[in-house]
Amino acid sequence: MQQRLAHISLVVDDYDKAIDFYVNKLHFTLTEDTILSETKRWVLVTPQGAGSCSLLLAKAATEEQKKFVGYQTGGRVFLFLYTDDFSGDYQNLIDQKIEIVRPPVVEIYGTVVVFADLYGNLWDLIEPSR
């Protein structure tokens, strides 16, 4: 048996604003954008790389859901983005004026920087140790 995570739902306040951030700033691929109704779309963005799990950008539909935009994990790092080009991807974060929450450090598992997405969700960008 084989299993894998296909998508992780990320609550957003606006589809197009979220697509712009993930595609134009983080250089993810817009994998799918299907209109399901007047208010709902199926939007997938995927990091570069074979076998990557996609983010399902899910627009908050209720006041309760809106409370969690940017705070899905209570302020902890939420997503872990692996790279084989830390210096290039880190420079892209700087160039795109993406908020660096904790500067790069070298840990036993690799080089890591914590950044915030457009909503304040925390991400680790990691180049694993060899």
Are 26 and 38 in contact, with CB atoms under 8 Å apart? no
Q: Tell me, which fold does domain 1-69 have in CATH?
A: 2,3-Dihydroxybiphenyl 1,2-Dioxygenase; domain 1 (3.10.180)
Q: Using the predicted structure, report yes or no on whether residue 10 has a pLDDT greater than 90.
A: yes
pTM over 0.95: no
Percent of the residues in the chain that have a pLDDT greater than 70, as a whole number: 100
CATH 3.10.180.10 in the chain is located at: 1-69, 73-130
E-assigned strands of 5-119? 7-12, 29-35, 41-46, 54-59, 77-82, 100-107, 110-116
* Confidence band, pLDDT 50/70/90 cuts, at residue 20: very high
Looking at residue 55, its pLDDT comes to 97
Render pLDDT for 81-97 as a digit per residue (tens, 0 to 9).
Answer: 999 999 999 999 999 99
CATH topology of domain 73-130: 2,3-Dihydroxybiphenyl 1,2-Dioxygenase; domain 1 (3.10.180)
The pLDDT of 89-109, averaged and rounded, is 98
Number of neighbours of residue 119 by Cβ within 10 angstroms: 17
